[in-house]
Structure 1
Amino acid sequence: MHRRHWLGFVLALLSMAALPASAASRAVWTWERDSYAMLESAEEAQGALTFLHGRGIDTVYLYADAFEGRNLISEQPQRYRRFIADAHMRGFKVYALLGSAYLKTERYILPERRRDAVAMLQRVLDYNAAAPADARFDGINLDIEPHLLDAWDDAHREDLLRDMLDVSAEWMRMKQASKQTLAIGPAVPFWFDGIPVRWRGTTKPASEHLADLYDYLALMDYRDHADGRDGIVAHAAKEMDYARQAGKRVVIGLELGDNELKKVTFHHRSEADLAREMAATEAAYGESPAFAGFALHHYRSYREWSQAQRER
C-alpha cells in the first residue's frame, strides 16, 4: 500500500475507534428513500445499524411519513414495529423524522395547511399509542424549514416564523393531550437567533420562542470547524446559553453532504477531522446540562463519505 494511502487508512481507523469512546450522544438524520429501504429489507436494516453502531451513533432519526405514494407509518406499521424493536435491542433510540422535500412540508406552517401538519404528527402519536413498549418511538424530530418557502424574505420572514410558532404550539398541545412522554424538537438553523419575532405579546429571537415551546432543539450548526467567530462553538453559544437557563437541551447538527460552500460541511475533510472538531465542541459544552450531543446529516451522505475515505 502506498504510504499516503496507508496513513489515511490508519487515521480513519483511529477516528472510527475514537468515536464510541465519547459520552456525547450521536444521532443521524435518515431520509425518505433510505428509511423506507431499512423498513422493507431486513438486510438493509442490519447493514445500516451495523454501520452506525461502528461509528458511535446511538440515535436514528427515521423518516415516518409518506413517500412516493405510500405511507408506511399508517399502512404497514408492523414494519416500524419490527425495525424499532430491533434497534432498541441493539442499544439505539429511534426518533420519528417528520419533514420532507418530497412533500414540501415547509408549506405545513401556513394556516391553510394546518390540517396536513396536524395529521402528520397525529399519525406518529397514533402509532406510538398502539405499539408495544419496545417498538415505540423515543422522540420526534421535526425538520420543517420556513426559510425554504418562496415567500421567505426580509418583509415576510417574521410573519412566517409566527406561523411556525403557531403550528408548533399546536403540535406540543397534541403531545400533551396524548399523555405521551416522547421528546419533540425541531431542526433550527443557527441564524434564527438573529431574527426577533413578536409572538403572543413577547418579542425575542425565533430560536428562543422555539426553545420555550419544544423539549429540545436540533441546531443546524453547519460549519467544518469548531473554533473561531464563524465556528460551531460560537454559532451555538446563544442557543446553548438560553437552553441552559430554560431547562431545555440542544443537539448540535453537523453536515457531511457535498456543498459548493465548503465551510458548511465536513464532506471535504476526513473522519479524523470530524472526530477532532466534535471533541473540541464537546470540550466547550460537554459540562452544560443543555448539551445533548450531535446529529449528523445525513445517513446516505455519511455512508458515501466513509466509503470515499476508505478508497483514498
Structure 2
Amino acid sequence: MTWIWDLEKLDESQEDLISFADDQGINLIYLHVSQKGFDKEKVQSFIKKAAEEDIKVYALGGDPYWALSKNQDSLENFVGNVKDYNRHVSQDERFQGIHLDIEPYLLSEWKNNQEDVITQWLDNMTYLKKQAKSNADLKISGDFPFWIYKVKIPGKESNVGEWMISKLDSITIMAYRDSAEGKNGIKSISSPLIEQAANHNKSVVIGVNMVKTDEGSHTTFYDTHPNEMNQELHQLENYFAGHPGFGGIAVHDYRSWKSNIKKRTYE
C-alpha cells in the first residue's frame, strides 16, 4: 500500500507507476483527490489500469479542520465529489473506498480544548460514514497516529483509537520509525492498536515513512537503503503474520519510495 498525493504532477507514465506498484506488491493505493477538482479522465485511466493488476484505489482527502463541526460541509463536499465521480464511470474505473488524513492534533484548538475537538471529530466521522455509505458501497479508512489509543473519549472509558477501529472498515497507523525492533520500534508502537483491531474483527495497516522530515531520522527510512528497509519490514510481516488484526504495511509515500530506490540502484 502507498499514498499518491499528486497524480497529475508525476513525471512517469501511468504504466510505469502501475509497474512499480506491481513489483513492490502494492495492492491498495490512497490517491489524493483535490477539493478544487481533478482530471477525471486521468483518474479513470489510472484506476482502470490499477484494477487490471488487482490494485484497489481509495480516494484520499484530508484537512485538520475537517474535525470541526463548522467544516462539515467541506467534508460532505469531498464525499459527494467521490460519489458523483463513481456514478459517471464504469465499475472498473471507480474508487473502492475513501481514505481520510485529518490529523486534528495539528490544530491550535487541540491544545486549547482537546475534549471539545475530539467530540466534534467523532461526530464528523459518524456523519461522514453515513454520507459515504448512503447508496454507495465505499469502504472507509483513515490515517491515525500510533498513540491514538491513549486519547480518551470525553466522559467515557473508551479511547479514540478503539472507536475509530470499531466505526471504520480499516485504519492505517502512522508508526513512523526506522526499526522494527526495540521499545520504540514499529512492532512495539503498533501492537496496542493491532490487538484492539483483532477484538473488533477489523484490521490495522502499519504505515511507515520514506519522506524527508525534520522530526528526526528515527521517524523515516529516507536515508536508509531500500534493502535495509525491506529487511525491517520483512521482520514486521513475519512477526504479525497470521494475526487477525494485522492488515499489511503501507509506505509513505509513492514519490519518495520510488526516488529512494532509484538513487540507490547504482550504489
Give your verdict on TM over 0.5: yes
1:5 paired residue number: none
Structure 2: distance between partners of 1:294 and 1:157: 30
> Out of 91, 110, 116, which is 1:152 matched to?
110
Unaligned runs of 5+ in 2: none
RMSD of aligned C-alpha atoms? 1.7
In the other structure, the counterpart of 2:68 is 110
Residues 225-284 of structure 1: CA distance to partner in whole angstroms, max 9, x if unpaired?
111210111111111111101111111100001124011111121112111111111122
Residue of structure 1 in register with 2:174 after alignment: 220
Match of 2:4 in 1: 30
Matched position secondary structure for 1:197: coil
Assess if the C-alpha contact under 8 Å between 1:267 and 1:305 holds in 2. Answer: yes
Contact 1:28–1:61 under 8 Å retained in 2: yes
SS of the equivalent of 1:250 reads strand
Secondary structure of 2:158's counterpart equals strand
2:34 — aligned with what?
Answer: 65
Structural mapping, 1:1-312, within 5 Å: 27-32=1-6, 35-37=7-9, 44-66=13-35, 70-72=36-38, 76-99=39-62, 105-153=63-111, 155-178=112-135, 180-198=136-154, 202-260=156-214, 261-312=216-267
| Residues 101 and 143, structure 2, Cα contact 8 Å, conserved in 1 | yes
Distance in structure 1 (CA, Å) of the matches to 2:41 and 2:108: 38
Distance in structure 2 (CA, Å) of the matches to 1:161 and 1:274: 35
Q: Given residue 168 of structure 1, which amino acid in structure 2 is its aligned partner?
A: M
- The secondary structure found in structure 2 opposite 1:80 is helix
Structure number with greater Rg is: 1
Distance of 2:43 and 2:54 partners within structure 1: 16
Distance 1:160 1:78 in 2: 38
What 5-or-longer segments of structure 1 have no aligned partner?
Answer: 1-26, 100-104
Q: Distance in 1 between matches of 2:27 and 2:139?
A: 16
Higher relative contact order (CA 8 A, sep 6+): 1
- TM superposition score normalised by structure 2: 0.93
The secondary structure found in structure 2 opposite 1:254 is strand
Percent of aligned positions that are identical:
27
Q: Alpha-carbon deviation of 1:311?
A: 4.2
With structure 1 as the length reference, what TM-score do the two structures score? 0.80
Number of residue pairs the alignment of both structures matches: 266
